[in-house]
Chains A and B, each alone.
Chain A
């Protein structure tokens, strides 16, 4: 159990620190895979999670991401509200497809907000955990404001969008 927790928490450390941290703990006599090892890594992870909020520029970037992510979610879901009622008015397939898409606007809104927060180039690399903190807040918003039954799908798409945005930022311009 401790080994699994250690492996999972180690994944939350910056990649360049993982090997050194595990070696340091071993040198200090913390047995690898033990509960103590998992707790020690978790303690270090928490410091890295908070580091982004200590820096003024990173904090500002996270707040901007939250505002833009929320703005995108709100504007797209608001724009899509009421489209479902038009389904009986337009009969051609293309219009019906567009109406079906927009009547589930919380789904593209979740993907868009996730990509925006995950990619946000104004958040410095060392403050990467703040992207996920912002995503957590947006997931809570999506869970509460998405139409009945759509909260889970929106939350999953949002998290997927953040992951994809983060990966594309790491990969750099194509």
Chain B
């Protein structure tokens, strides 16, 4: 099956699930993204993204064991499926191909450098 394109939040969520596995659930995924990217993402966005990725067949979920800390409620734990890994690989492949040759422009320490195409004056 051809992988459906991934949005940037979907990529971040899939990567967080891989990193956190086997303890990937909405709270830990949101914290992991905030910790690594400094991006503040709303709770709702994380829930619907996890749900959407599950619907696409990229993730599967199961209920964990209820704990006292959570008021006796179980976590919904997410795990990556093969399709999800394939979609992530494809997505990164596209990004790599598009950025190939632009390393000078995209390097963090090249932010103040104006690329050649931006300095040429109009005819």
Measured CB to CB, the residues of A under 8 A from B are 14, 16-17, 19-24, 26-28, 32, 40, 43-48, 51, 126
Asked if B70 contacts A27 (CB within 8 A), the reply is yes
Asked if B44 contacts A23 (CB within 8 A), the reply is no
Q: Which of B48, B55, B63, B71 contacts A48 (CB 8 A)?
A: B48
Some 26 contacts from A to B, beta carbons below 8 A apart, are: A17-B47, A20-B63, A20-B75, A20-B76, A21-B26, A22-B71, A23-B66, A23-B70, A23-B71, A23-B72, A23-B73, A24-B27, A24-B70, A26-B71, A26-B73, A27-B27, A27-B69, A28-B27, A43-B42, A43-B43, A45-B44, A46-B44, A48-B44, A51-B48, A51-B52, A126-B52
Interface bracket on B: 20 to 34
Asked if A47 contacts B70 (CB within 8 A), the reply is no
Measured CB to CB, the residues of B under 8 A from A are 25-27, 42-45, 47-48, 51-52, 55, 63, 66, 69-76
Given A20-B74, A51-B48, 5 other A-B contacts at CB below 8 A?
A17-B76, A23-B73, A24-B27, A26-B73, A46-B44
Q: How far is the CA of A46 from the CA of B26 in the complex (A)?
A: 16
Asked if A23 contacts B75 (CB within 8 A), the reply is yes
- Shortest B104–chain A CB gap in Å is 36
With a 10 A CB-CB cut-off, give which of B25, B26, B47 has the most chain A CB atoms: B47
Chain B residue nearest to A47 in the complex (CB): B44
Asked if B47 contacts A126 (CB within 8 A), the reply is no
Contacts of B42 in A (CB 8 A): 43, 47
Q: How far is the CA of A17 from the CA of B43 in the complex (A)?
A: 13
Contacts of B55 in A (CB 8 A): 126
- Shortest B57–chain A CB gap in Å is 13
Contacts of A126 in B (CB 8 A): 51-52, 55
Q: Which of A22, A23, A44 contacts B43 (CB 8 A)?
A: A44
Asked if B25 contacts A24 (CB within 8 A), the reply is yes
- Shortest B69–chain A CB gap in Å is 6
Q: Which of A17, A22, A32, A40 contacts B51 (CB 8 A)?
A: A17
Query: Given A27-B69, A126-B55, A19 and B74 touching (CB < 8 A)?
Result: yes
- Shortest A134–chain B CB gap in Å is 20
Chain A residue nearest to B66 in the complex (CB): A23
- Shortest A158–chain B CB gap in Å is 28
- Shortest A29–chain B CB gap in Å is 10
- Shortest B6–chain A CB gap in Å is 14
